[in-house]
Structure 1
Amino acid sequence: MKNFEAIAYMDDFSLITIVAKKPFSIVPSFGLLQTDGIVHSLTLFKQENYNQRYIYKCKSPIQLVMGKDYWIKINENQIPLQIGSIVRTEQFDSLFFDDGPLGALYTPDSTVFKVWSPVAVEMQVKYKKTGEFDFLEASMERTERGVWHFTLQGDHHLTEYIYKARVNHVWVEITDPYARSVTINGERSVIIDLQKTDPDQWQRSEKRMNLRSKTDSIIYELHIRDFTIHPDSGVKHKGKYLGMAERNTTTSKGTITGLDYLTRLGITHVQLMPVADFGSVDETKPDSQYNWGYDPVHFFAPEGSYATEPSNPVLRIQELKTLIRTLQDNGLSVILDVVFNHVYKLEESSFEKLVPGYYFRYDAGGNPVNGTGVGNDTASERKMVRKFIIDALLYWLNEYKVDGFRFDLMGIHDVETMNIAAQKLKSLNPGIFLLGEGWDLNTNLEPEKRATLSSAKVLPDYSFFNDSFRDSVKGSIFTGGTAGFINGNQEHSVKDQILRSVKGYSGTNDRFLSAEQSINYTECHDNHTLFDLLKIRHPNENERQRKKRQQLALAFTLFSRGVPFIHSGQEFYRTKYGVENSYNMSDRINAFNWHDCEKHKNDVKYFQELIKIRNEQPVFREEESRINRLHELPDGVFGVEINHSLTDKKVKCFNWEKVLLLFNQSLKAVEIPIPQGSWKIAVENEKYAVRNLDSNKYLIHPLSFSLLFV
């Protein structure tokens, strides 16, 4: 048998698996060859066929040692022994877990390199100062836990470096998974004096402390490039970190844009779509490509395509810090969208090159599990993966002083990791906002251990995107799926779900511990925008009718218990021209269209007024408020009465005591009975104007929302 016809894997400290393309005609003798020439006979104890491969499992008479080369002798042939599923054993995790700092640890006097690879036989660091042509190389030393280290004397701020490791009998070059910054396109890691990345008046010792409760929050999701790239945004640094930080920007007609627009909305949190370095945009020509950024490469380093000089490893940090600080100085908290559930390309990732097979989940046949839908699922339950995730979160919290994290496909992660992360983050900022997608995906982890919606009660510090709210209000995200209330669905089950939405999904038998865990949304960056979906679902309606349906959804989002979540542009009927998944489409599809915003300025004003009501009136946010559904309403109308829980007379005189929320999804005006009381009308037919209701009946307009109060 020729060498290339079989591969040998180290699957445990005494278990070796040989995989052949063809069966051996005669069962061969198998031996384990050491570097000193000694050969140990292997005991063949099992043969099996799997997926047209012939598998031979053997026991070694000696304990295999990490960081050493071995070969397998098959009769007169020999093949290298490669790292197999041994890295996914509990013994490996226990032996080689190291909780110390990793990366290029800078001081003005020296930089200490630390990188974890227990399976490497040799490790070097290659480095060069900016402007120099040739790399210097230095051999690194290995600790018992598999951390390789080397100390480079002198001040090496901006020195570029890569690691060179001998793994599986070959040399590979790797960027540092803990790199704080990188060269253009992430080709090399860069040593950084982080103090030199601080903008003016940045206080390194300052600790951000959030005192706002989750239900006092309104989240607004933004993509860095989308928000300012429009030709008439009036922004100088279009599509950049700094562009979103510019003040006093307007369209050519004088409509307020950019940061000033955000500060006038009344929202409390800006959720930035991924800003960590991702792989799908060529930073040498950032304006020629587009991506949402859910394809991470370097988890500690900011994306360069949003920087004014992608080749400058300091500026990408400094400009992101400037944006974060500017948003915070203008009263807006900042949530980062983080993507720890997969990597851009498994085979090219530093993780896979440093410790093949460790950082990801695999099936019984040794194939990467694909619950994420992008080819690989990270294994958060493994100790060094858990450490990496938590180290990255703490770094973004401490260095960039952000206010929260949104976890992409959080259901892939394990409950224990997420709870440990929350404890560590909350010890530094007790009010940090943590939320995630709790979808239950087909990954190789026991269902009860997944951080899904069904685990919400054992993840008390996290809020979850609430699909029950979304589906009951607007219906399925799929165009052929079930319709929601705003689309004409009058089923009792839908109205029951909506009542639970308004109450906050926190009953004894419900999924959440409190309303704080419910992220109420009808639109986000994924799938069709609501306006585009309504056009598909109601092709024969006029645009005005579809817009009124969208306004119904907006009212449900803002006045249900929980945390309102708004996709940027939803307030002025953002369209992506029917494109369902615009993750890599052009700016024409994705740009925040300031002309549409200008066109619908009255609708934006209405949105601002609804937010103002929610922010000013505790009745919409208190867990203790009593909520009762109005009965005997005609088809198409849904209503609830909310009674204030406060008894303090002084407080009550400034707040509404009772509220009626009324929703009409029918195409006709409907007269409905009103509970006894001195009701005032605050909102009707997309307008805010307080007036008395001098009747025990109320005429609610077609496809509209009304708000009454006492």
Structure 2
Amino acid sequence: MSSNYINAETELETYEGKDLGLTYTAEYSQFKVWVPSAFTVSLVLYETGGNGSANSFLNSRDSGRIIPMQREAGGVWQARLSGNLKGKYYMYRAVFEDGTMHEAADPYATAVSANGVRSAIVDLRDTDPVAWDADKSPQLQHPADAVIYELHVRDFSAHESSGMLNKGKFKAFTETGLTDKDGNALGIDHLAELGITHVHLLPVFDFQTVDELKAAGEASRAEYHTEYNWGYDPQHYNVPEGSYSTNPNDPGTRIREFKEMVQALHSKGIAVIMDVVYNHTYSVEKGPFEPLIPDYFYRHDYLGRLSNGSGVGNEIATERPMVRKYIKDSLAYWASEYHIDGFRFDLMGLMDSVTIREITEELRLNINPNLLIYGEPWTGGDSPLAAKTLKGVQRGKGYAVFNDNFRSAIKGDSDGWGKGFVTGEYGKEGAVASGIKGAIHEFTDSPLETVNYVTAHDNLNLWDKVLASQGLRQAANLPELDNGGLRGGGDVEEAVRAANPYFGIDQHNILGNETVRRSLLANGLILTSQGIPFLHAGDEILRSKYGDHNSYRSPDAINAIRWENKQTFMPVFQYYKGLIELRRTHPAFRLHGRQEIERSLEFLRCDSGVVAYMLKDNAGGDVWNNIVVIFNANPGPATQSLPDSADCWNVVVDHTYAGTEAFRIVTGHEVQLEGLSMMVLYDGYGEPAPRAKIIEVHYDRPDGDYRGWNLWVWGTGIQDGQCDFRQMENGRAVARIEVVPGTESVGYILRLNDWEEKEAGGDRFIDCSGSEELIKVLVKDRQQMDEGDADGPLQLTS
């Protein structure tokens, strides 16, 4: 523990300004850094990046120009230098009262030299691609419409079958028009063809465990190499990772190419989610925080030791004011500068619930009302944090968490032979049914609070897990891998070539294979359940990682997506594509609220390896009257009774096909399913009423401070409870309430956070008995009411 240790009770000056870090112009550069406990702080200006990549003679003499900084209020040190400093590098040097001196990169750095050695001075406008100002995030009508696809940048393009020139790079996403020899779309065109709405990228900020210069040197070689990591080892939170750029030596290249990637995905109608890791850093002493603000950024136990709820040696103390500010500033920067559309939080359990709540409210209100926010509601170990963001804490707070209950019910354990519903275990039907309902009777208030998934980058991927549950690892000759290598030593690539994970598949009857059927059944559940579906990249082409359950540092031979699988397993790809199209076409699979699910979803059977349910009465405004969905996890056929609402049912999904058009008819009141299959049927078209009326509540506060304020609503018929203000319009905060058509009035209370305060008058009501589909009302604060306005909402022009 350092002599400058700051314990949890230490109160330091705080700073609320939005200008920490570098403010660059061609005329001057301003540097601001928060170092409240330092005796003195200096800016050190360098000519090189400090890693030997520049002229060796110049680099050896680059001892830096030292510029004293001035202390200002709030513990901030500032220096302003005239002239154009673009192309130079800088560090901060802090001296403490005990005489110790530390030099570190800027915690708020937005550009760095190769391997993050020094902060870089760039003009961010020079990094904007052509037409970047015109780039727009794809707009979904509702979060329930999302279909998330989790993807690692390098995995996407590293394999030779990808056909991409920029293998392992951000720029690979800009390569369009690529096809295999059979004419199948590859790369970004494949993603668009599949129909997903969001790409979730594993960490793409600057991380520490890949040598960017070595990776760049090997980028043009054809052979596999081991310069690989998932990226959950943060170094610089506000800078893109250099190993994914074509030139890590140029600080601007990684920024420009990252933006080009986002722009390319947006042009295909695909939003971009960043996987962010604000719960720990890879290094403490060598990171940007500890040298400048000793021990403040890290959580400690009652003995003053670094706590280790992350499992990697440290935790970020998110509950401290300036740490919370740093995280919010960082996320706001990515959302605004890079047009990022959502964030997935790693080990969100280690982030305090207040920080997550404020992130959700402020980013949506101030930057993008449609940001998708979700995370892992668990920790990697014990933590002294009291207000952990665990499952259930997200209720009514506007963000979602991964549903590991549903995951385990579907597949069993994550890495072993343990079984679930689709892998052969009876007794899981009830847990599966709970997941189908969006966990609204478990830990959510709304289906929008659950991210439904079977597998992700962690643990065995779907194909390998199903093989393991069937006891087929040995038959597939899958290698025993550990920590990026073979347990007994040897060549990983040779072991991969010797393996045959698809040994049992008959190419003339791919959809008849048991392992294929079990995997389709698993994600068939995910794509037809209430909530937000999440797929792991490559599931749609039966990707295998050769039994590696923790491939975070394994070579491309294990991790790279093999694009030749698309043609080989085309019926599987078409099945996934059909299920996604079904979900995106029919709102019955995308219900918005708890009350809507309880009114519209009815279980028909939940036992003996069969789960069947009906979405009834034009659920969610669907054009189909009644939809029946059946899952048969038995190896043999099963017979299911059908409701008596019709004598004729149209089949759009069975063991042979998935889509939106009926391809056969079932008459009578029962149907037989083949083993290990699903079926979706509907009984006809109706004349559904509009899905919902929309009430827009415009809240006017003279002080303009809307932080923490929300509505508590009831009587909507769709989703009662907390309703957040999501955007600003004419200086007012705006919330949107969905109401079932025919509703006479909706009640609401204006409150601060969780009933810390509520506005005047208690219960209020909005008349929505008219014919308008959009109702706008103005709500003013107590002071304005006291000055003579009517006690209640005022009608605005629709």
Using the TM superposition, name which of 538-547 and 100-109 deviates more: 538-547
Q: Distance in 2 between matches of 1:180 and 1:562?
A: 35
2:629 aligned residue (643, 646, 661)? 661
Q: Secondary structure at the match of 2:393?
A: helix
2:432 corresponds in structure 1 to: 498
**Equivalent residue for 1:589?**
558
Preserved contact between residue 421 and residue 633 of structure 2 (Cα < 8 Å): yes
| Paired residues for 1:617-632 under 5 Å | 617-622=586-591, 623=593, 624-625=596-597, 626-631=600-605
CA gap 1:404/1:464 in 2 versus in 1, 3 angstroms: same
Q: Which residue identity lines up with residue 490 of structure 1 in the other structure?
A: Y
The residue identity in structure 2 corresponding to 1:196 is: D
Q: Secondary structure at the match of 2:290?
A: helix
Match of 2:728 in 1: none
Shift of 1:164: 1.6
**Counterpart residue identity of residue 319, structure 2:** E
Q: CA deviation at 1:283?
A: 0.6
2:650 paired residue number: 680
* Structural mapping, 1:217-616, within 5 Å: 217-286=146-215, 287=218, 288=225, 289-427=227-365, 428-447=367-386, 449-457=387-395, 460-479=397-416, 481=418, 483-491=419-427, 494-507=428-441, 510-539=442-471, 542=504, 544-616=513-585
Contact 1:210–1:432 (CA under 8 A) maintained in structure 2 = no
Q: Which amino acid aligns with 2:257?
A: E
Q: Which SS does the other structure have where 1:708 is aligned?
A: strand
Corresponding residue to 1:138 among 36, 53, 67: 67
Of residues 169, 186, 189, the one that matches 2:99 is 169
Rounded Cα–Cα distance in structure 1 between residues aligned with 2:5 and 2:47: 37
Give the counterpart letter for 2:464 in structure 1.
Answer: D
Identity %: 36
Contact 2:416-2:468 within 8 A present in 1 as well: yes
Normalised TM-score (structure 2): 0.74
1:103 aligns with 2:21: yes
Q: Write the mapping of 1:78-93 to structure 2, written as runs, cut at 5 A.
A: 82-86=3-7, 88-92=8-12
- Correspondence for 1:179: 109
Give the drift of 1:596.
1.9
User: What residue identity is the alignment partner of 1:434?
Assistant: I
Q: Secondary structure at the match of 2:356?
A: helix
What amino acid maps onto 1:672 in structure 2? Q
Pair 1:207–1:105, CA change in 2 (3 A): farther
Greater shift, 211-220 or 178-187, is seen at 211-220
Larger radius of gyration: 1
TM-superposition CA deviations, 1:468-508 (whole Å, max 9, x none): 11011111214154x211012221xx21121121122224x
Cα offset for 1:635?
A: 2.3
The one-letter amino acid of 1:323's match is M
Is the 1:160–1:188 contact (alpha carbons within 8 Å) kept by the matching residues of 2?
yes
Q: SS where residue 564 of structure 2 aligns?
A: helix
Match of 1:671 in 2: 639
Q: Is the 8 A contact 1:209 1:429 kept in 2?
A: no
2:295 is paired with a residue of what secondary structure?
Answer: coil
Distance 2:35 2:590 in 1: 50
The range that moved more, 345-354 or 674-683, is 674-683
> How many residues of Structure 1 are paired with residues of Structure 2 in the alignment?
614
SS in 2 for 1:163: strand
CA distance in 2, matches of 1:163, 1:442: 34
Q: Report if aligned partners of 2:274, 2:343 keep a CA contact under 8 Å in 1.
A: yes
One-letter amino acid of the counterpart of residue 612, structure 2:
G
Q: Say whether the 8 Å CA contact 1:157–1:192 is kept in structure 2.
A: yes
Deviations, residues 186-223 of structure 1 (Å, cap 9, x unaligned): 1110012111110001118x775844311111000111
Q: 2:348 and 2:607 mapped to 1: Cα distance?
A: 41
SS in 2 for 1:687: coil
Q: 1:702 to 1:196 in 2, by over 3 A?
A: same
Counterpart residue number, 2:44: 126
Question: By how many angstroms is 1:119 displaced?
Answer: 1.9
Aligned residue for 1:434, secondary structure, equals: strand
Distance in 2 between residues matched to 1:634 and 1:143, nearest whole Å? 68
- TM-aligned CA distance change 1:273 to 1:634, over 3 Å: closer
Question: Structure 1 residue 240: deviation in Å?
Answer: 0.6
Q: Check 1:366–1:706 CA distance in 2 against 1; reply closer, same or farther (3 A cut).
A: same
Tell me if structure 2 keeps the 8 A contact 1:126–1:137: yes
8 Å CA contact 1:129–1:156 kept in 2: the answer is: no
Task: Give yes or no for contact 1:663–1:706 (8 Å, CA) kept in 2.
Answer: yes
Q: Is the 8 A contact 1:506 1:512 kept in 2?
A: yes
Match of 1:704 among 662, 665, 677: 677
- Residue-by-residue CA offset, 1:424-465 (whole Å, 9 max, x unaligned): 111121111111111155454444x1111131215x211111
The aligned amino acid for 2:408 is D
Query: Once superposed, what is the RMSD of the aligned Cα atoms?
Result: 2.0
Q: Does structure 2 retain, via aligned residues, the 8 Å contact 1:271–1:337?
A: yes
Q: Compute the displacement of 1:250 (Å).
A: 2.1
Q: Residues 692 and 315 of structure 1: is their aligned pair in 2 closer, same or farther, counting only changes over 3 Å?
A: same
Does the Cα contact within 8 Å between 1:634 and 1:672 map onto a contact in 2?
Answer: no
CA distance in 1, matches of 2:242, 2:347: 24
List runs of 5+ in structure 1 lacking aligned partners: 1-6, 10-81
> Structure 1 682/115 Cα, relative in aligned 2: closer, same or farther at 3 Å?
same
Q: Distance in 2 between matches of 1:420 and 1:559?
A: 32
User: What SS is found at the alignment partner of 1:455?
Assistant: coil
Deviations 1:313-365 (A, max 9, x none): 11100000001011011100111111111001112111111111110111122
